[in-house]
Amino acid sequence: MENTVDLEKTVTKLDTEPTEAHVQNKHEHVFTDGGAKAWLTVFGGFCALFSTFGWSNAIGVFQDYYETHQLAHLSSSTIGWIASLQLFILFFCGIIVGRLFDALGPHLLLPVGAVLEVLGLMMTSICHTYGQILVCQGLIAPIGASLVFYTAVASIPTHFHKKRGLAMGIASSGSSLGGTIFPIMVLRLTQQTSFGWTMRACAFLILGLLTISCLTITSNAKHSGFNMIRPSDLVRHFGDIHFSILAAGFTFTFWGLFIPFDFITSSARHFNIDTDMATYLVSILNGVSIVSRISMGFVADKLGRYNVNTAGITLAGIVVFVLWMPSTGLAPYIVFAVFYGFSSGTFISLGPACCAQISEVKDIGTRVGLMFAVGSIGSLTGIPICGAIIGDGTSRQRWLGTMAFAGAMILIGSFFTGLGRVKKVGFDPRKIF
């Protein structure tokens, strides 16, 4: 009799509390949380994010290079559209790629994306004018990168449930490592050889890594098969208030998140910091982020992905105001790069994990793509806005305005992310979510 009562209570609890575990049982999805296929997918995701988001994390070195070489006759704001368009295309294409992943799985999307990204970078190696670079580096390459990026990010959560934060952290650390290596690689190669061969060397490295991704990434979800993408299939997700709040948090965070990545080198040179050391700041920022993404992914599985993600974004915004704005020398710039790299590193790894936490498995690809696509509005406009604020780069007050804009947008993003957590589980800080 007691067993019957306990069973009735359990059934009632499952019917009234739509937890992630309930979603798993409802759709008969089994998370392996390990095994060869699952961890190979994480490894393939690491290589994929190294080659896609890691390449985008190196935007600062290109902003500085173009300003002092073939595009020196153009303003910072105009040149900034290359990096801005690159980030926008990478993220906005998720509105289509996520839906394609849910329908088709990874096996077609990965090789097509790899070919397009490498082709775009190879074509950039022979570009000389602003328009050519904008099309090849800012449009063709990121379309391919988007196919790879979203496929990798959406595949990993289909294998993991309890260890999802750790798995996503390990994979996303690939983007940090890419953002560490590519700036040094570009700096050294452009000093020793031509810009063309520099881009070709980077493209060949990316080709090798994406080949590994194509061979190792698998999906553990059932895919529905291709069908026409209707606007209603995408819009309906915004009817979920929890998803809408998280998407708002992404958008505001994206408005400010990439500004230090893009302008830390140029701002350091404004204060007469050596050009080589200024370029290394991008690598330091991304290098520290490797530690953050893995460690905070592990911590998030214990303390809650929303909790840790909100804390990381908040700290990143504070660091911009407290450390970047007053910095005028190499030492404080290094301190800022370390703290910002660590705090901002949680966002990219835990953002998709938070989205998966409030989504059904069959919708993870679509929702992650939608969330990044909405956020891409911020990445498209944030860098050019700051380029316009900076002007010719000679005024300290204008640099301070750019830094204040970045910090404010990040903090607004953290507010919405925290609001999503409160909306879901309330104000009690002891609740793990």
Query: Cα(first)–Cα(last) distance of the chain, in Å?
Result: 35
Tell me how far apart the alpha carbons of residues 271 and 285 are, in angstroms, rounded to a whole number.
Answer: 18
CA atoms of 121 and 137, how far apart (whole Å): 6
Percent of the chain with pLDDT over 70: 92
Residues 119, 117: Cα–Cα separation, whole Å: 5
**Consecutive sets of 10 residues in the chain, 433 residues long: mean pLDDT of each?**
43 38 49 86 95 84 84 84 87 84 87 96 93 94 94 89 85 88 89 92 96 94 71 83 92 90 87 85 86 86 90 95 93 94 85 85 81 84 85 85 95 94 85 82
- The dotted CATH code for 30-424 is 1.20.1250.20
Q: Taking a C-beta distance cutoff of 8 angstroms, is the pair 338, 288 a contact?
A: yes
Query: How many degrees, rounded to 5, is the angle at CA 51 between CA 118 and CA 336?
Result: 135
Counting Cα atoms < 13 Å in the Cβ hemisphere of 210 gives: 31
What does the pLDDT look like over 2-33, one tens digit per residue? 444 444 444 333 333 344 444 444 445 677 77
pLDDT of residue 388: 86
Domain spans of the chain, in order of start: 30-424
What does the alpha-carbon distance between residue 195 and residue 206 come to, in Å, rounded to a whole number?
Answer: 17
Dihedral in degrees, nearest 10, Cα atoms 169, 174, 179, 181 = 140
Contacts 24+ apart (CB under 8 A), 25-30: 26/360, 27/360, 27/361, 27/362, 29/158, 29/220, 29/221, 29/222, 29/361, 30/220
Quote the tokens at residue 97. Answer: 């790629």
Give me the pLDDT at residue 392, please.
77
218: number of Cβ within 10 Å:
17
Select from 166, 143, 52 the least CA-distant residue to 94: 143
Instruction: Give the residue among 345, 350, 362, 363 at the shortest CA–CA distance from 420.
Output: 350
Q: Any residues with CB less than 8 A from the CB of 131 and at least 6 apart, and which?
A: none
Among candidate residues 431, 366, 357, the one with its CA nearest the CA of residue 19: 357
